[in-house]
Structure 1
């Protein structure tokens, strides 16, 4: 009887010697034969497994949609949300009617107060705004939840797109896209609006932090009272915005402002209040935010810019795939509960527990052997390792969706109600104990994550399948090579340039000696310099 190794040998290129090129030996056949699907920009094992999970979830969702379920039941909500998206004929018939009232108001508000009122109303419906807000643990006190506020207001991926010459063609394509979207929506003066929108967003982008600065855990922790926030943003009408967005005042008593200079810059722009620019900007963001849920022409034009021009993806995903994605985003744990019962063997959980335990121990051995780190810092690192919390498969308790209303004939309305439900769910955490059982991914997600604020590593059920993990393998060698690499990667985030700033309890607290931090950064700089010299074979002028 032969043992089941868990290794997939079907992609080997036997014409390559493993000692010459192990990667091409193991994957050469796959590299030679595989084509990247037209609806995405890359491919690989993660994507293959994602496709399998996507098909499984589609079956779950369509089964719920086909059943005659009681109004208010999970099955009804899953089925009706999916069906409301899949009703392509109705979306085409309605066009922009579901947002006509909002578009009219955006083009006709008379002053800053009306602007802030409409901005708040739209915020509660998930239609974007000038800043984003989320609730998580206070990184200086991981026992408390707090609101984090961050920069937003842009249509392009980040501030560099508005200032660097490299992106001049993107900016030109962006204004053409706005004009085309205006035309498809039956709105006048699209070209003039596009010019105003680009001008205003360029002003906003000038106060945005760049990607390097924005990922710095220390720089982005700025705890402020609501009084401080109002002082920083003198020209933002908080009372009007709070009332219209239905934000309970107590949630803003203390906040973490990620980029204070952005909020100061935004306030200065609002102080000038060039009404024509703000009317064009708000009109555009209403249209752009809802574009994926409108008629086919608008959906396609939205994809042409954001999917193809910005991301290089040739083809829009099939409608069912987009529908599955919508349901997963809105009712992910409801779907996940069914997914786990149907596809996740309980014995996989214990096998993963053992793998994670062994990988953590391997980190301990490696840290102990470091010749550049002091014993003092090593001891703190061991304490952090001891406090790592693994979460495997699925959460211990499931989210309650009873307060969410979904109907089968109101797609855009469903999107708004989902956003309001999510906002209420998040804001309700303020003033309550931190729920350390909560997951930030659904069980059917093919991914994993490390959360520094809780010092936890999380592995959803969907990634615990071949080719990453084989619960039936007779030997764990392949599992260490597959999911073991993912486990090691996530543990590593606890000790990377930002994760290493958090202690074992999830607090932003320096546990390194100054000399050890210097030695760490010296080695990181060497790696950066090495990668700066690398170029893809197909793009020799581009540096990694």
Structure 2
């Protein structure tokens, strides 16, 4: 996930935890001594459900029944709960910053200016299309395909990441991502990837499903609304051209499954090869405008799609491309344009696509906008106020314990050849883990933030892009962070062999130093185990300890590994999210492998932390029961149908209610809850998937 497009209410890890709507104190929670509180929330459970029939409902049934989805959200769960706390903290922090009246050139002054300009909708409405006029005039003045190529180049931003399943989408024709090349260890390259569509995924354009067809019609109407607001003389005809063009772009795209096959991305093209392999647009004009003219080589991540997109620049009418550029320029900046744009954008991008009926208050949107845009500036202020050193130390300790537990699991594998095992151990032991916040903060002293919300958004996006492309040709920094500290999330970075655990996730409902180890290992421990295990999922396992894409497996070992993955994919294919809409086990395989292996490693680390002793029961729950309930409550979630449909069709993460069922693959779960053959979740021992 990239820095410029992180939404603080979305996530790569996509947790959804309910267990901490209560504070964790009081009689129901047990003792209040350090590390001995119950942690799990019995009130969230439905004990009338057998754990072996539906463990999600057993752990979360009462919560699901009694917890409404807020009108301004597409879902409710742990991220919502944790993010509400992060928002409360950020709100107090920004109020403190505003009161201090900081110098405009300081980081806190930039935070204040960005926040105030974004919040001032009266000024935004009064300015009308004035702030966007130069952009629209430039598009209107495009006279030929060379100028079009340059215009496309000027739109490129560092807004996609092919190695993270939730952020592989850009409205610009190509996405840019800068990191170590998949086959060029130590050398950072610009990745070029497919883009150019406004709907979430190519299947939205191509599917014959009636719901998808309806969304296409709504999208066409929305494009027309935006262009009409921009005073287009025939907005409907322009919308038809945009829709026709984007349908051709979608046809050119690789599928989501193909895009997530990293092996297909190992194509390094020189500048000459790029021009030869993808004729149609003027690459010199595009790359010069994108400030990439001196880049000697490129990672052609979507090598089959890039030539098709380039050919469309040549074959499609110039006026259709100009309509497309104008729409996306306005669509991407709709939140800092006049009310008509904001309302139309919310009606489609939030209500139609996600089912959200009510827009959030502008001050809450402003909090998220400044956090999303000035990430390190806000992050530094956030951790100074809200992330104690004690929490950092405790999480670092848990990380080391879970890494050690994963290593012990590798060492115990009886089917893995010594050579494969040695490489796996080398990889897990060399993972670089960032906890809370990065070691160094971004210098934004040259970024000018003033009173124009549109200009501020553009300037910040351009500054981030320039920072990213400045890395080209330089050695990779394995400690580089790809998430801000104030994000409720976590991430595995395969080419860095590194993990980030931002400060905002290291609090209730994911972590509580007062809760007993069973809760913390089941909740945040499973997050830690999940991210470690991503280094060994169906994609992560293809990278070695240096982050290079290299096959370090024996053929027999890899075949055994793939067989376990196939079994897990089939398990998830059987789950039905909505009538007739089943999960895609292949699409979600990486996350599901990380869930199974991560939960197993977290469980082993939990048991190891007890030093051979048995955990005491708290309020009638054994240690193992608390561990597994904490995990399942970590996946409590409710989604609107629109959000659920989009998740299943486009996201590499299965919805939370199905991820909670990971437990059925772990033998200790059966013992903890006396799960018997004949119960719905029961799997015979030889059918329980054990990937690592």
Describe the shift of the 1:46–1:128 C-alpha distance in structure 2 as closer, same or farther (beyond 3 A): closer
Matches within 5 A, 1:463-474: 463-473=505-515
1:458 equivalent to 2:500? Answer yes
The alpha carbon displacement at 1:12 in A equals: 4.0
- Partner of 2:187 in structure 1? 144
Cα deviation, residue 106, structure 1: 2.2
Match of 2:224 among 156, 164, 179: 179
Please name the residue that 1:498 is paired with.
539
Whether the aligned pair in 2 keeps the contact of 1:178 and 1:284 (CA below 8 Å) is: yes
Per-residue CA deviation, residues 497-522 of structure 1 (Å, 9 max, x unaligned), is: 10000011111111111111111111
1:164 to 204, 207, 211: 207
Structure 1 residue 140: Cα displacement:
2.3
Shift of residue 386 of structure 1?
1.2
3-state SS of the aligned residue for 1:218? helix
1:115 CA displacement: 1.7
Q: Find the counterpart in structure 2 of residue 38 from structure 1.
A: 71
1:357 alignment partner, one of 384, 400, 403: 400
2:114 to 81, 87, 104: 81
Residue aligned with 1:288, SS: helix
Contact kept? 1:135, 1:427, Cα under 8 Å: yes
> How big is the shift at 1:44?
1.0
Counterpart of 1:543 in structure 2 is 582
Cα distance in structure 2, aligned partners of 1:498 and 1:2: 43
Q: For residue 376 of structure 2, what is the aligned residue in structure 1?
A: 333
Deviation larger for 117-126 or 99-108: 117-126
- Please state how far the C-alpha of 1:311 moved relative to its aligned partner: 1.9
Give the TM-score taking structure 1 as reference length.
0.94
* Match in the other structure for 1:259: 302
Q: Counterpart of 2:449?
A: 406
Contact 1:108 1:279 in 2 (8 A): no
CA shift, 1:66, in A, is 3.5
Q: Contact conserved, 2:241 with 2:320, CA < 8 A, in 1? A: yes
Q: Could you tell which deviates more after superposition, 282-291 or 372-381?
A: 372-381
Q: Deviations over 1:109-135 (max 9, x none)?
A: 221122223333344799953101121
The equivalent residue for 1:190 is 235
Distance in 2, matches of 1:89 and 1:62, equals 20
Q: Give the aligned partner of residue 528 of structure 2.
A: 487
Deviates more, 1:293-302 or 1:314-323: 314-323
Does the Cα contact within 8 Å between 1:393 and 1:459 map onto a contact in 2?
yes
Asked whether the equivalents of residues 242 and 320 of structure 2 are also in contact (C-alpha less than 8 Å), the reply is: yes
Q: Which moved more, 1:260-269 or 1:99-108?
A: 99-108
Q: Measure, in 1, the Cα distance between the counterparts of 2:32 and 2:110.
A: 48
Match in the other structure for 1:230: 275
- 2:425 aligned residue: 382
Quote the offset at 1:231 in angstroms: 1.0
Q: State yes or no: 1:443 paired with 2:476.
A: no
Alpha carbons of structure 1 residues 235 and 26: separation in structure 2 relative to 1, 3 Å: closer
Aligned counterpart for 2:89 among listed residues 53, 56, 61: 56
**1:354 and 1:198, CA in 2 relative to 1: closer, same or farther beyond 3 A?**
same
* Equivalent position to 1:9, from 29, 33, 41: 41
Residue pair 1:6, 1:479 contacting (<8 A) in 2 also: no
Contact 2:185–2:546 (CA<8 Å) still a contact in 1? yes
Contact 1:147 1:255 in 2 (8 A): yes
CA distance in 2: counterparts of 1:76 and 1:103, whole angstroms: 30
Of the structure 1 ranges 98-107 and 15-24, higher mean CA displacement relative to structure 2 is found in 15-24
Cα shift readout 1:275-296 (whole Å, capped 9, x = no counterpart): 2211211221222122121112
Task: Give the CA deviation at 1:37.
Answer: 1.0
Correspondence for 1:516:
557
Q: 1:22 deviation in Å?
A: 5.2
Provide the C-alpha distance between the structure 2 equivalents of 1:124 and 1:543, rounded to a whole number of angstroms: 35
- TM-score scaled to structure 2, two decimals? 0.74
Distance in 1, matches of 2:57 and 2:316, equals: 59
Question: Which piece of structure 1 moves more, 42-51 or 60-69?
Answer: 60-69
2:321 match: 278
Residue 158 of structure 1: how far off its partner (Å): 1.8
Matched, 1:249 2:282: no
Asked if structure 1 preserves the Cα contact closer than 8 Å seen for 2:284 and 2:293, the reply is no
Distance 1:316 1:223 in 2: 44
Give the Cα separation in 2 of the matches to 1:288 and 1:2: 51
Moved more, 388-397 or 10-19: 10-19
Q: Distance in 2 between matches of 1:263 and 1:190?
A: 29
In structure 2, what is the equivalent of residue 94 of structure 1? 127
Distance 2:579 2:575 in 1: 9
- Supply the distance in 1 between the matched residues of 2:505 and 2:119 (Cα, whole angstroms): 27
Is the partner of 2:374 in helix, strand or coil? helix
Q: Is the 8 A contact 2:145 2:314 kept in 1?
A: no
Gaps of 5+ in 2: 1-30, 160-169, 584-692
SS in 2 for 1:249: coil
Aligned to 2:298, the other structure's residue is in SS state strand
The SS at the match of 1:219 is helix
Mapped contact 1:125–1:416 kept (Cα < 8 A): no
CA contact (8 A) 1:120 1:244 kept: yes
Which of residues 464, 467, 471 in structure 2 aligns to 1:429?
471
> Aligned partners of 2:401 and 2:582: how far apart in 1?
36
Residues matched between the structures, number? 538
The corresponding residue for 2:344 is: 301
Kept in 2: contact 1:347–1:471 (CA 8 A): no
Displacement of 1:239 after TM fit?
2.5
Aligned counterparts of 2:362 and 2:541: Cα–Cα separation in 1: 42
CA contact (8 A) 2:171 2:198 kept: no
Bigger shift: 198-207 or 482-491?
Answer: 198-207
Q: Residue 187 of structure 2 contacts residue 475 of structure 2 at CA under 8 Å; is this kept in 1? A: yes
Q: For residues 23 and 175 of structure 1, do their structure 2 counterparts lie closer, same or farther at Cα, with a shift above 3 Å needed?
A: closer
Which residue, out of 249, 252, 255, partners 1:210? 255
The answer to which of 64-73 and 300-309 deviates more is 64-73
Structure 1 position 73, deviation (Å):
0.8
Q: Unaligned stretches of 5+ in structure 1? A: none
Instruction: Pick closer, same or farther for the CA change 1:13–1:284 going to 2, 3 Å.
Output: closer
Offset at residue 342 of structure 1 (A): 1.0
1:5-56 alpha-carbon deviations (Å, 9 max, x no partner): 2514352447537756654444333222111112222111222011101121
Classify 1:350/1:535 alpha carbon distance in 2 versus 1 (closer, same or farther; 3 Å).
same
